[in-house]
Structure 1
Amino acid sequence: MVEMLGVIAPLFVLILVGFGAGFAPRFRQGTPYLNAFVFYFALPCFIYTSIVSAPEVGSFPLAVPLIVLTVTPLVAVGLYYLCRGLGGLSRDLAAPVSLAGSFGNVGYFGIPISVGILGPEAGLTAGIVHMVHNIFFLNGYPLVRTAVLTRQREGSAGSFSELWRMQLWPILRRGLLLNPVFWFMALSLLVVLTPFSMPELFDEPVAMLGATAVPLALFCVGLALHPALQGVRSGAVPLLPVGIGTVAKLLLLPALTWLAVLPFYDSLGPIWAGTLIILAATPSSTTAFIFSEQYDRDGRMAAAVLVGTTGVSLFTLPLIAAVLL
């Protein structure tokens, strides 16, 4: 476990640096621009480089998307209805708890941790799992929340065709057609699975940009901790749903993923199986905070779960990694 902590601890140091920088207003004000750079430039390049430089891992098991698209939605829906049943503020904040308690930081945390623990072969597997995971969340949550909020605001007055044309289709277009992560994923798979290759004049700058993704993204995670702490201190964020979201993200989701992996282990093998469990055990994503700010009009609950999962994962991730090995 001490060895695993050595792999993971540097990532938390970067988060602490970002948290310290967040006490200066100019850094907090720059957070949206830093996140935009990571999402549109650094992260796509990082994923591309991780995949094309990874050794081959054989075939792609169909159980992988089946597990991701079954276990994760079950946890998200379960969290939503659990918080709705608690009543009070927990009921009003059920959607952000559901999001933050199931949407993991599979890109910034998951890929480097998977490679560090399982070896370079995990670069390809983690990149593919990341793509499946993000297709679900980057489209699912905005679509569902937009539809629900529109229906609450307008009742049954508006037609579905109008809702699709004006709100839902633009979300899908941004999430898929205009998403640089998916285009770079497609390019990397083309390079890996076919004789096609990109010139060094492309690969080298992409690798340089990709090298900035993890440190800058974790720096942004540290910056995002400030609004969460402000929300907890103000009393606007009840601690019970924060605890529920944290436990669900760091313990329930990896445990259910492990159970789902067991029947398919022979076809998955240790790299695919280990990657699925490690990515399930990552703390909440900063995108959960951004989405909650945009679609729930208050990101403090998602940010509070982000704080809880980030802090506790310093202990749970090395433990899960040690058990896997």
Structure 2
Amino acid sequence: MLEMLGTIGPMFLIILTGFAAGFVRRFRAAAPNLNGFVFYFALPTFIYTAMVTAPPIGSFPVPAFLIPVVVTGLLAVGLYYVTRSAGSASKPMAAPTSLAGSFGNVGYFGIPISIGVIGPEAGVAAGIVHMIHNALFMNGYPLVRTAVNAAATSEGAPVGFSQLWRERLWPIVKRALLLNPVFLFIALALLVVFTALEMPAFFNEPVAMLGQTAVPLALFCVGLALHPALEGVRSGGVPVTPIALGTGAKLVILPLLTWTAVLPFYDHLGPVWAGVLIVLAATPSSTTVFLFSEEYDGDGRLAAAILVLSTALSLVTLPLVAEFLL
């Protein structure tokens, strides 16, 4: 346990540094620009370098694709209906609870922790599972909520699917997949790893230099993001039940379900793929859930509360998961 804290603890110290910096106005004002740099430059280059420099992993086992999609998707749907049935105060919170309780911080947290706990051989597996996880949520939630909101505001004049797709749904897919720099760099890394393609040194070296900024800066941004999240929580009006449901689902139920799903396929997956799947499932709620909930639900306070609580509690739960894996 102490060894795992030694691996994961420094990451939380960087988060605390970012949180402390957030009390200064100029750092809070710089948060969107810092996040933009991480998303468009630092994180894509970090994942690319981690994947292309990782030891060979052989093939891509099919269960490694199915488990994050099926398990996480089923949890999201189940959590939605459980929250709706938890009382009148919780019912309107079902969608953001479902999102925050299943969409983990697999990029900023999951990939560096996987590499730190399992070793550099986890780079390719973590990058692929990250891509699958984000493709599911960064498309699924905006698409579903946009369609639901369009139906709710049509006022008796239903919008045709072709019009809805052209005007509102296709831009989401295009932004989340085709124009997503993380996905583009992962796709390039997969070509390098699984084909004879080799990128020249004058490309790989500056990419690696940019990637070295990703982990500390991303964690610093997580600390900064806790301030608007806490402001949303302090404003009140967030029921306790969906906070508990979302946090418990993210830190306990999802890792346990993933572990249960991994067991029958362990011989096929091997320790690296199995470990990566469980570590990424155990990450706290993503900072993106707050932004998505603000945009698509009109109120990000519940997502903010689950983000803050799950991030704080993961200081205990992540070392326990890592210790269990080892």
TM-score w.r.t. length of structure 2: 0.97
d(CA) in 2 for partners of 1:212 and 1:300? Answer: 30
Kept in 1, the 8 Å contact 2:118–2:272? The answer is yes
Trace 1:101-112 onto structure 2 (pairs within 5 A): 101-112=101-112
CA contact (8 A) 2:19 2:223 kept: yes
Aligned to 1:286: 287
Shift of 1:230: 2.3
Amino acid corresponding to residue 274 of structure 1 in structure 2: G
- What is the alpha-carbon distance in structure 2 between the residues aligned to residue 261 and residue 299 of structure 1? 33
Partner AA of 1:43 in structure 2: L
* CA RMSD, 1 decimal: 1.2
Q: Deviations over 1:133-185 (max 9, x none)?
A: 11101111110010001100115521111101100111111111111111101
- Partner letter of residue 44 of structure 1? P
Residue pairs, 1:79-228, within 5 angstroms = 79-154=79-154, 155=156, 157-228=158-229
Structure 2 counterpart of 1:313: 314
Moved more, 26-35 or 188-197: 26-35
Distance 1:142 1:118 in 2: 33
Q: Could you tell me which amino acid in structure 2 is paired with residue 264 of structure 1?
A: F
Equivalent AA in structure 2 for residue 324 of structure 1: L
Report 1:213-252 matches (<5 A). 213-252=214-253
CA contact (8 A) 2:233 2:304 kept: no
Superimposed CA distance per residue, residues 50-79 of structure 1 (whole angstroms, 9 cap, x where no aligned partner) = 000100111110011110110001111111
Identity over aligned pairs, percent: 67
Deviation of 1:9 (Å) = 0.4
Report the 3-state secondary structure (helix = DSSP H, G, I; strand = E; otherwise coil) of the residue aligned with 1:30. helix
Deviation of 1:90 after TM superposition, in Å, equals 1.9
Q: Partner residue of 1:9?
A: 9
Q: CA deviation at 1:80?
A: 1.2
Unaligned ranges ≥5, structure 2: none
Once residues 267 and 92 of structure 2 are traced to their aligned partners in structure 1, the CA distance between those partners, rounded to angstroms, is 43
**Distance in 1 (alpha carbons) for counterparts of 2:176 and 2:92:** 26
CA distance in 2, matches of 1:277, 1:143: 27
Conservation of the 8 A alpha-carbon contact between 1:104 and 1:284: yes
The answer (yes or no) to whether the contact 1:96–1:302 under 8 Å persists in 2 is yes
- Name the structure 2 match of 1:32: 32
> Residue 94 of structure 1 aligns to which amino acid in structure 2?
A
Deviation at 1:21, TM superposition (A): 1.1
Q: How does 1:50-69 map to 2 (within 5 A)?
A: 50-69=50-69
Distance 2:230 2:108 in 1: 22
Matched letter for residue 32 of structure 1: P
Q: CA deviation at 1:130?
A: 0.4
Cα distance in 2 for residues equivalent to 1:59 and 1:156: 50
Q: Deviations over 1:92-148 (max 9, x none)?
A: 222111111101111111111111111110011101100111110111111001000
Decide whether the 8 Å contact of 1:231 with 1:237 is kept in 2: no
Deviations 1:175-231 (A, max 9, x none): 111111111011111111122111111111111111111111111111111222223
Return the TM-score normalized by structure 1. 0.97
SS at match of 1:88: coil
1:81 shift after superposition:
1.3
In 1: Cα distance, 2:103 partner to 2:82 partner: 17
SS in 2 for 1:55: coil
